[in-house]
A and B are shown apart, each in its own frame.
Chain A
């Protein structure tokens, strides 16, 4: 009996399905706020044990020198000066992360030249903020851990003798790339700007588009030991709080060595990492991110990454672009139809061709059959293996073209596509008909706007080819059904992947056809968001 129980446990039968749900379930619809009806701060906001700033400059310096390994870290600067000519003070900042000119001009010079404070001024730190330092963003901080984190982030901390708190001023001035065109999501019509590596710039790009009082940007540690921050962006009162809390919880649970890019963050925060389809939309376009946030989604920005992770996402989100709404309705709808046809061709066509050519020649007309047979006359590789070989070559050319900079990459694509293809046909390694099929497949693949989805399509394509190779149309239809059923059961942060089509949701937004732009006033029901923001 014990062995049976062990077997059942190992197969995970009988374990409760405790996945996060945003939509209606057997337990009913989740409340907009949590069950108690109170707005919680969400998980991951618990404070750690505080280490206080002491009144002695020397004591604080010693603590920070130890914490920041200043003896072997020459880029941590400890600059002693005399505040107002009377009080001993110490400015601590990170060389390169902070703007040296700002510190010289507005902290050291203003601090040294200021008049002595009158007696009974109360907090000297407060006095310095209000009367000495000319900084817009400055505050008192009594927690030494937070002071240390601020210094690492590029802020400048000033300790004043006798003051139990430090003055933190935003002097961040590190080098970063200016906002440029979005490289991976180019559009003809619409904004061209893309995110950059600086999280503050990215937040500004979003705030420039969403000028509402309900936009919240919560910044918190990403969970990697490298200490990068993430910004969780959403609309307070519109975005479902259960969703916001779920995002916060998943980020709060992270405890890993390194999180450098948003792709790693995406994988660490999702469940079921073997799934080929992405569960979050990675976009480098602020306008697209802003549009999705307005609908009630949550965006996560990671410092140092020019991409925003937007969740939840569905197949229809992954298949749309920001340009869709910029075009007129007929053009927009036509392009979307073409995109879906391209995606279907890219996934189905190679397998369908294999099934017909190997198992159901009767379905091909005589002319086509003769062409196929004559083109393969001298090819010695089995048809299925030839197809998989060509699909791999296609990925090879594509990968090489992407990794080589600039125009050389395009040249590699042309060389790979034309010369290599021609050479493969001449060498009887591949047939010309199959080259056409793979070329069409490649074109269809590029119709898919999202890069991760393109890669998922490549994975599915090869699976379908193998199924069709084994059992013809029966294999292909079985594989398509299995893939559809698997996709139907996938969820992205509680939202089914094929919603709002299956399951059907009360959504006025179009799925394949581009609807009237006035219809976009209402958000998707799948978000379970509040419409009026109240």
Chain B
């Protein structure tokens, strides 16, 4: 039965989670809002990753104290049958994160590469990989993450280094410390983008072979995502001014395309887009699998695969609707989630806090 997660090692867990968190942190930025006060992202992404990591470590600590195996177990211990509601919220957040990734990349591909193609076939191809990987199970997500994760990260950094000829430090102005409010609000949004990867690890915690490995996977994934996010945004910030950035759809792609046009590497800009797509497929697969697992465990206690298939079908359909119908309800809902997804952090810390208080009470009573 595919409710059995299998077991994955630390390297696989770190690779999959880091890939998911990095692509979510870097590629799902809303340029207009993020860069409206200048480029703060090279500070806000690490801060957001740190906040998400803090919440993750708190929940892991609570799981350890309460003896729960995973996030669903923790919620069930605190809320009983009502645990289905946080599970649904978590699953919705994970599904949204997967949708956001797939939608962004489908739009990018349709805009920059397959201009003469319709949107729907691109979406189908983009959805295919995460769907198949998630269908094959959590072990598959981890293993494929291990195969392509490190290579994608290295190539990503090489791409940034290749553009270094056009970097100017003065473009980083205004410096983030001059205004604290946008830093805080952008960091909160960044934490909302970083948290789903850690949420997925919590959902699939039994596969991680113990709390220590789970913690290690979360810490390393957050550190890698913070580093890659900060590095990429710093490079973008040195390449374009905040004003230019707020008008750009995908500054990283343009960074590769424009700044090094005189060199041979100019012709590899689209190739780098496909490399990012590979990492995003791993991330989306992780989200889809974790969401399906949470739904399945909470509601049906049956096989995960039908939930994976239906999630992917819904995602592809939502992407097509969002693109073809312009300012649709899907896009409006997505915007809402984008803004307030950080609320998931306190939401899932609440049962953790409750379990800690309950545990302390029990200890006091025993004493």
Q: Measuring CB to CB, which residues of chain A are less than 8 angstroms from any residue of chain B?
A: 8, 13-17, 24-26, 359-360, 362-365, 471-475, 477-478, 481-482, 484-486, 488-489, 496, 498, 501-504
CA distance A410 to B109 in the complex (A): 47
Q: Known: A13-B306, A17-B2, A26-B7. Is A478-B128 also a contact (CB below 8 A)?
A: yes
Interface centre among B143, B268, B305, B306 (most CB of A within 10 A): B143
Whether B350 sits at the interface, judged by CB under 8 Å, is no
- Contact status A489-B7, CB under 8 Å: no
B143 touches A17 (CB 8 A): no
Residues of B253-273 contacting chain A, CB below 8 A: 264, 267-268, 270-271
Confirm or deny: B46 has a beta carbon within 8 angstroms of a beta carbon on chain A.
Answer: no
3 closest cross-chain pairs (CB), A and B: A488-B143, A13-B303, A502-B146
CB-nearest residue of chain A to B281? A481
Bound complex: CA of A99 vs CA of B302, how far in Å? 65
User: Which residues on the A side are within 8 Å of B148 (C-beta)?
Assistant: 481, 484
9 contacts between A and B (CB under 8 A): A26-B4, A362-B267, A477-B278, A481-B132, A484-B148, A486-B136, A488-B136, A488-B144, A503-B9
**How far is A17 from B6 in the complex, measured between Cα atoms in Å?**
10
B contact face: mostly helix, strand, loop, or mixed:
helix
Please judge, given known A-B contacts A25-B6, A474-B113, A489-B137, whether A484 and B147 are in contact too, CB under 8 Å: yes
CB-nearest residue of chain A to B134? A485
Interface residue B288 (Cβ < 8 Å from any Cβ of A): no
B128 to A: closest C-beta gap in Å = 5
> Which residue in chain B gives the minimum CB-CB distance to A25?
B7
Number of A-B residue pairs having CB atoms within 8 Å of each other in the complex: 112
Contacts of A17 in B (CB 8 A): 1-2, 4
Chain B contacts for A363, CB-based, 8 A: 267-268, 270-271
Chain A residue with the shortest CB-CB distance to B302: A14
Central interface residue in A472, A474, A489, by most chain B CB within 10 Å = A474
Complex Cα distance, B109 from A472, in Å, reads 11
Complex contact B143–A496 (CB within 8 A): yes
Task: Write out the residue numbers on chain B whose beta carbons fall within 8 Å of the beta carbon of A477.
Answer: 129, 274, 277-278
Note all chain A residues with C-beta closer than 8 A to B147: 484, 488, 498, 501-502
Taking CB atoms, residues of chain B closer than 8 Å to A485 are 132-133, 136, 140, 143-144
Closest chain-B Cβ to A499's Cβ sits at a distance in Å of 9
* Binary per-residue interface labels of chain B (1-39) against chain A in the complex, 1 for a CB within 8 Å, 0 otherwise: 110111111011000000000000000000000000000
CA distance A482 to B147 in the complex (A): 12
B136 touches A489 (CB 8 A): yes
Within the complex, what minimum Cβ distance (angstroms) separates B53 from chain A? Answer: 23
Residues of B within 8 A of A359 (CB): 114
B122, B126, B146 pick with most chain A CB within 10 angstroms: B146
- Do B144 and A484 have beta carbons less than 8 Å apart? yes
Quick one: closest B residue to A473, CB to CB?
B274
Q: In the complex, how many angstroms separate the beta carbon of B52 from the nearest chain A beta carbon?
A: 26
Bound complex: CA of A107 vs CA of B6, how far in Å? Answer: 62
B244 interface residue per 8 A CB criterion? no
Asked if B125 is an interface residue, CB under 8 A from chain A, the answer is yes
Binary interface profile of B, 97-115, with partner A (CB < 8 Å = 1, else 0)? 0000000000001000110
In the bound complex, do residue A504 and residue B277 qualify as a contact, i.e. CB atoms below 8 Å apart?
A: no
Q: Would you give the shortest CB distance from B279 to chain A, in whole angstroms? A: 10
Residues of A within 8 A of B113 (CB): 360, 472-474
Query: Does B206 belong to the interface (CB within 8 Å)?
Result: yes
Confirm or deny: B142 has a beta carbon within 8 angstroms of a beta carbon on chain A. yes
Closest to B147 in A: A502
Alpha-carbon distance A160/B163, docked complex (angstroms): 93
Cα–Cα distance between A26 and B138 once the two chains are bound (Å): 13
B1 — which chain A residues lie within 8 A by C-beta?
14-17
The reply on B139 being an interface residue by CB < 8 A is yes
Cβ-defined contact, A481 with B129, below 8 A: yes
Given contacts A360-B270, A503-B143, 5 further A-B pairs with CB under 8 A are A13-B305, A26-B6, A477-B274, A484-B144, A484-B148
Residues of B within 8 A of A25 (CB): 6-7
Instruction: Please tell me if the beta carbons of A488 and B305 are within 8 angstroms of each other in the complex.
Output: no
Q: Which residue of B lies closest to A475 (CB)?
A: B125
CB within 8 Å for A474 and B274 given contacts A360-B113, A503-B12 = yes
**C-alpha gap A26/B69 in the complex (Å):** 13
Query: Contact between B305 and A362 (Cβ–Cβ < 8 Å)?
Result: no
Q: Are B277 and A502 in contact (CB under 8 A)?
A: no
Question: A501 — which chain B residues lie within 8 A by C-beta?
Answer: 146-147
Contact mask B272-297 → A, CB, 8 Å, 1/0?
00100110010000000000000000
Interface mask (B116-137 → A, CB under 8 Å = 1, otherwise 0): 0000011001101100110011
CA distance A360 to B117 in the complex (A): 13
B136 neighbours in A (Cβ, 8 Å): 485-486, 488-489
Bound: A458/B72 CA distance, A: 45
**Chain A residues near B305 (CB-CB < 8 A):** 13
A8 to B146, alpha carbons, bound, how many Å? 32
Taking CB atoms, residues of chain A closer than 8 Å to B6 are 25-26
Chain A residues with CB under 8 Å of B8's CB are 503
The answer to whether A504 and B11 touch across the interface, beta carbons within 8 angstroms, is yes
Complex contacts, B277 vs chain A, CB 8 Å: 474, 477
CA distance A54 to B255 in the complex (A): 92
The reply to whether A502 and B12 form a contact with Cβ atoms under 8 Å apart is yes
Minimum C-beta distance from A515 to chain B (A): 19
When distances are taken between beta carbons in the complex, the residues of chain B under 8 Å from A360 are: 113, 270
Asked whether, in the complex, the Cβ of A478 is within 8 Å of the Cβ of B12, the reply is no
- Report A-chain residues with C-beta under 8 Å of the C-beta of B129: 477-478, 481-482
Residues of A within 8 A of B139 (CB): 488-489, 503
Which of A14, A489, A502 contacts B303, CB < 8 Å? A14
Q: What's the Cα separation between A364 and B267 when bound, in Å?
A: 7
Q: Which residues of A contact B271 (CB under 8 A)?
A: 363, 473
CA distance A473 to B11 in the complex (A): 28
Q: In the assembled complex, which residues on chain B have CB atoms less than 8 Å from the CB atom of A364?
A: 267
Question: Taking each of A13, A365, A481, A484, which has the highest tally of chain B beta carbons within 10 Å of its own beta carbon?
Answer: A481
B73 to chain A, nearest CB (A): 15
Q: Is the CB of B278 within 8 A of A481?
A: yes
Measured between beta carbons, the chain B residues less than 8 angstroms from A504 are: 9, 11-12, 146
Q: Which of B143-182 contact A (CB under 8 A)?
A: 143-144, 146-148
B274 touches A489 (CB 8 A): no
Question: Contacts of A14 on B, CB cut-off 8 Å?
Answer: 1, 302-303
Q: Report the minimal beta-carbon distance from A319 to chain B, rounded to whole angstroms.
A: 15
A26 engages B206 (CB within 8 Å): yes
Cross-chain contact A474 with B267 (CB below 8 angstroms): no
Contacts of B303 in A (CB 8 A): 8, 13-14
